[in-house]
Structure 1
C-alpha cells in the first residue's frame, strides 16, 4: 500500500483524511497540523469519522517527511500564503513524495506556469524523484475534465461555460469568505480575490488547459466582476452576522477570447444568502451546484450537486475535488517523476471502492 500523509486538517484536509482512509491502495501514515491544539488528536476524530484511525496528528514536518512517505496530500491553504505553500510542497517533493494539492493555482496548467512557480518544483523533482499534480478546489474537475468530456458529445460547439453557483451560508471559512472574497464588508472594500488580474491568475490556468485540449489559440483572457449589497441583515450558521448594506453577493467571469469572442468561460456566482442578487444564476436546488453549459448543436447542460458532512453542498464540492486528487495518487506513483496537470492525469473509476465502507 502507498504510505500517505495528509498535510492540513481544514475543510480540504478533513475530506482528504476520509478519502485516503477509504482508498484500498493507500495507507494513512501521518497527519500534519499547524495548530498545536490539534497535535496528538486522532485523525479519525479530526476528520469527523466517528471512529479512530490510529494515526495521531503532529506538528513535526521534519519527522513526517523523514519517514519517506510515498505520497502527500497537501491540504493547507495557499490563498493567503502562496509562497509558504509552494515551499512546503517543494520540501515534500525533495523528500521523494508524490504530492497532490489544490493549493498552487499557478501550477494548474504546467505549460503556462510562471517560472517562479515551476522552476523550484522541477528542481525538487530532479533532486528527490517526487512528482506534483495540482488541481483546483473549486473544484478542478468541473473546470477541466468535465467540460472537455461533455464537449465531445457535441456536433458543433460555439462556447463552453463552467459555473460555480453557491450560497456560503453554511460555509465555515471566515477568513476567505469575509476578507479574501469580501462578504460582509462595506461596498467600498476591495476584496483581494476580485482585484484586477487575480481571477485570471487563479482560474486562467484551467481556461488555458481547455483551450489546449480543444485545439484553439487564446487571444487573451478578460475579466468581469459585479457585486451586490445585502438588503437585510442575515445570520449564518457557521460565520455569524452579515450586516445590511455590506457585500452579499459577487459574480465574476474569466473569459477566454478566441477569434475575438468569449469561447471558454469560467463563472462564479457566490452569495452569503439566497435572497441577495436573485436575478443572477441560481442552483436548481439546495445551496449550490456546479454547471457546465456547452452552447452549440446540440446545446448541452450538465449540473452536478454533491453533498458531504450532513448534506453540506460546499463540503461536497471540496470532497469531490479531493476525490480527484487522492484518486490519482496510485497512478502517479506508477508514472515517472514529473510535474503533471489535469490533461496528463486520467480521471479514473473508483476501483475497489464500490460498496467499501472505509469512511
Structure 2
C-alpha cells in the first residue's frame, strides 16, 4: 500500500480523502489542515463520510513529512496564495513524496512555465527524489486528455473548444466567487482572475499542451471578456445576497491561434444566477457542465455532468479533477522522479474499483 497524505480539506480536499480511501493501492496515513478547529477531527468526518477513518487531522507539517509519506495530495488552494502553495509543494517533493495537485496553474504545462515556478520544483526533485503532477480543478481533463482523445475520432479538425458552463451559486467557496472572479462586486471592480494576461497564465499552458500533442504551433494566445450585471437582487443558498447592478455573469475565452485563426479555445461561462445573461449558453441541468466541441468532420460534441455531495453541485467537477490526480499516484510511484504533465501521465481504467462500496 502507498502511504498517502491529503493536505487541505476544502472542496478539493474532501474529495481527495474519499478518493484516497477508495483506491485499492493507497493508504491514507495523515490529513493536514490549517484551521485550528479542524485539528483532531477524524478524516472521515471532514470528508463527509458516515464512518471514521481512524486518521485525526493535524497541523504539524514537519512531523507528517518527517514520517516519509510516499505520496501527497496537495489540495490547499493556490488561487490567492501561489507563493505559499509553491513552497509547500517544494517541501513535500523535497521530502521524497510523489505530489499531485491542482494548485499551481503555471505548472499545468511545465515546459512553458516561468523559471520561478519550474526551477524550485526541479531542484526539489533532484535533492529529494520526489515528483510532481499538476492538473486543473476546472477540471484539467476537460482541457487536455478529453479533447485530445476526441480529436482522434474525426477525419478533419478545424477547431477545438473546451467549455465550462456553471452556476456559481452552487460553488461553496465565497472568497473565490466574490473576490477572485468578482461576483456581487461593482462593475468597475477588477477581479484578479480577469485581469488581462491572468487567464492566459492559468489556461495558456493547457492550450500549448494540446497544440504540442496535435503537432501544431501556437502563433499567439489572446483573451476575450464579457461581463453582465444582475438586473435584480438575488439570494443564494450558499453565499447569501448578491445585489442588483453588481456583476452577475462573466464570459471569457483564452484563444490559441494557429495559422492566424483561433483553433484551440478554452471558454468559461459563469453566472451567480440563471436570470443573468440568459442569452448565453446555460448548463443542461441548470447547475454546471463541461463540454468539448470538435469542429470539423464529423462535428463532435461531448457534455460531461458530474454530481457529488448532494446539493453542492460544484463538487462533481472537483471530484473528477481529484480522481484524475489521485488515480495517477500509483503510476507516478513506479515512474522516475520528475516533473510531469497531463500528456506524460496516462488516463487509466479504474482497476480494482468496480463494485467497491464507499459510504
Tell whether the structures are fold-level matches, with TM greater than 0.5.
yes
Give, in angstroms, the shift of residue 64 of structure 1.
Answer: 0.2
Give, in angstroms, the shift of residue 250 of structure 1.
Answer: 0.3
Give, in angstroms, the shift of residue 284 of structure 1.
Answer: 1.8
* 3-state SS of paired residue (1:111): helix
Task: Find out whether 1:9 has 2:19 as its counterpart.
Answer: no
CA contact (8 A) 2:38 2:57 kept: yes
Task: Find out whether 1:356 has 2:344 as its counterpart.
Answer: no
Task: Find out whether 1:184 has 2:184 as its counterpart.
Answer: yes
CA contact (8 A) 2:288 2:314 kept: yes
CA contact (8 A) 1:289 1:313 kept: no
Task: Give 1:255's aligned residue.
Answer: 255
RMSD: 0.6
Q: 212-221 vs 278-287, which deviates more?
A: 278-287
Task: Find out whether 1:328 has 2:328 as its counterpart.
Answer: yes
Give, in angstroms, the shift of residue 71 of structure 1.
Answer: 0.1
Give, in angstroms, the shift of residue 311 of structure 1.
Answer: 4.9
The aligned runs of 1:42-53 (5 Å cut-off) are 42-53=42-53
Equivalenced residues, count:
359
Task: Give 1:222's aligned residue.
Answer: 222
Task: Give 2:19's aligned residue.
Answer: 19
Give, in angstroms, the shift of residue 358 of structure 1.
Answer: 3.1
Task: Give 1:231's aligned residue.
Answer: 231
The aligned runs of 1:148-167 (5 Å cut-off) are 148-167=148-167
The aligned runs of 1:128-167 (5 Å cut-off) are 128-167=128-167
CA contact (8 A) 1:305 1:313 kept: no
Give, in angstroms, the shift of residue 170 of structure 1.
Answer: 1.9
Q: Which runs of 4+ in 1 moved over 2 A?
A: none
Task: Give 1:59's aligned residue.
Answer: 59
Residue by residue, what CA displacement relative to the aligned partner does 1:95-153 show, whole Å, maximum 9, x if unpaired?
00000000000100021111110100000000000000000000000000000000000
CA contact (8 A) 2:274 2:286 kept: no
Task: Give 2:286's aligned residue.
Answer: 286
CA contact (8 A) 1:23 1:358 kept: no
Runs of 5+ unmatched residues, structure 1? none
Q: TM-score, normalised by structure 2?
A: 0.99
* 3-state SS of paired residue (1:117): helix
